[in-house]
């Protein structure tokens, strides 16, 4: 479904993402982890190159989504593909919403484009169903983004994905600013979307415990490159690269696995 082939993102003087190749298959959860500054977020943004900061550009490589190169395709086609098939969930999900419109109005505009055949009553029913899935009351529809807590905004962002049923969800550390209980619920909602809607997920994560529990594949990044990749139960319990080993040592349950591996 999604394939990055030797992707390089650069500024005028420096390469920040270097020859990155990874793929996300249909219905697969692929996590990208690594230390701060490794290039993880830039890699995720590169799926929709228009989101990259103005000082950066994709200098080489390809980003293929269902066979279409999003780097070289016309802007109109790229925007159409992303709006219909890909959903972004950012660390600060509030930035995804227009602050001067209620949640209802924003969702109504989305459904008018995505599901033009629905009548007003049917649109309302779809909205309430999506809120029910993320355990939020229908009264949220009357509220504005600024009136919602961080956890509520993340749930609303996931409810948008439930409404639109994208083929791919790209999530950039969606739980890093949330408390433990809210984080656990958000991750379970991603899992529900994957299982019930068949969504593929590309997730940037700082929590290796989440990666081990939820992801089907993991890529470890350092200094703009992928240094190790594979199934989480293999990569995170028997890491080969020093960066991966350092990351795993910071997590008690993984640290003990590394010790057992080293003792064998």
Cα–Cα distance for residue pair 114/161, rounded to 1 Å: 12
Strand pairing category for 2-10 and 15-24: antiparallel
pLDDT mean by block of 10 residues, the chain; 264 residues: 96 95 97 95 94 94 95 92 90 86 94 89 94 93 94 89 91 85 88 92 93 96 97 92 92 65 47
- CATH number of the structural domain 2-263: 3.40.50.300
Q: In terms of pTM, does the model score above 0.75? A: yes
Supply the pLDDT for residue 12.
92
Neighbours of 115 (CB within 10 A): 14
Write the DSSP string, 139-171.
Answer: GGGGS-GGGS-HHHHHHHHHHHHHHH--SEEEE
Q: How far is CA 248 from CA 94, 220, 231, in A?
A: 31, 11, 15
Among 221, 214, 207, smallest CA distance to 254 is for 207
DSSP class of residue 105 equals H
Contact 53, 41 (CB under 8 A): no
Q: Report which secondary-structure segment, H or E, holds 215.
A: none
Neighbours of 56 (CB within 10 A): 18
Q: Where are the domains of the chain?
A: 2-263
Supply the pLDDT for residue 258.
57
Contact 58, 52 (CB under 8 A): yes
Q: How far is CA 46 from CA 3, 39, 65, 215, in A?
A: 11, 11, 12, 21
Supply the pLDDT for residue 241.
94
Token pair for 21:
């190749």
């Amino acid at each position: 479904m999604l394939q990055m082939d030797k992707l390089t993102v650069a500024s005028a003087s420096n390469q920040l993402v270097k020859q990155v190749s990874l793929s996300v298959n249909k219905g697969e959860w692929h996590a990208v982890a690594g230390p701060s500054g490794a290039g993880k977020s830039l890699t995720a943004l590169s799926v929709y190159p228009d989101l990259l900061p103005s000082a950066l550009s994709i200098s080489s490589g390809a980003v293929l989504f269902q066979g279409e190169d999003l780097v070289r395709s016309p802007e109109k086609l790229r925007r159409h593909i992303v709006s219909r098939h890909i959903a972004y969930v950012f660390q600060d999900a509030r930035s995804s919403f227009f602050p001067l419109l209620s949640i209802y109005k924003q969702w109504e505009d989305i459904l008018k484009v995505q599901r033009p055949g629905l009548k007003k009553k049917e649109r309302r029913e779809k909205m309430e169903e999506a809120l029910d899935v993320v355990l939020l009351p229908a009264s949220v529809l009357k509220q504005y983004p600024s009136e919602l807590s961080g956890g509520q905004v993340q749930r609303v962002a996931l409810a948008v994905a439930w409404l639109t049923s994208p083929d791919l969800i790209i999530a950039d550390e969606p739980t890093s600013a949330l408390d433990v209980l809210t984080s656990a619920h958000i991750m379970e909602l991603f899992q529900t979307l994957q299982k019930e809607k068949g969504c593929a997920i590309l997730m940037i994560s700082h929590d290796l415990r989440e990666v081990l529990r939820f992801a089907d594949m993991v890529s470890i990044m350092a200094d703009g490159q992928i240094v190790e990749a594979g199934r989480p139960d293999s990569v995170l319990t028997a890491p080969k690269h020093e960066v991966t080993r350092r990351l795993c040592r910071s997590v008690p349950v993984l640290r003990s696995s590394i010790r057992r591996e080293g003792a064998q």
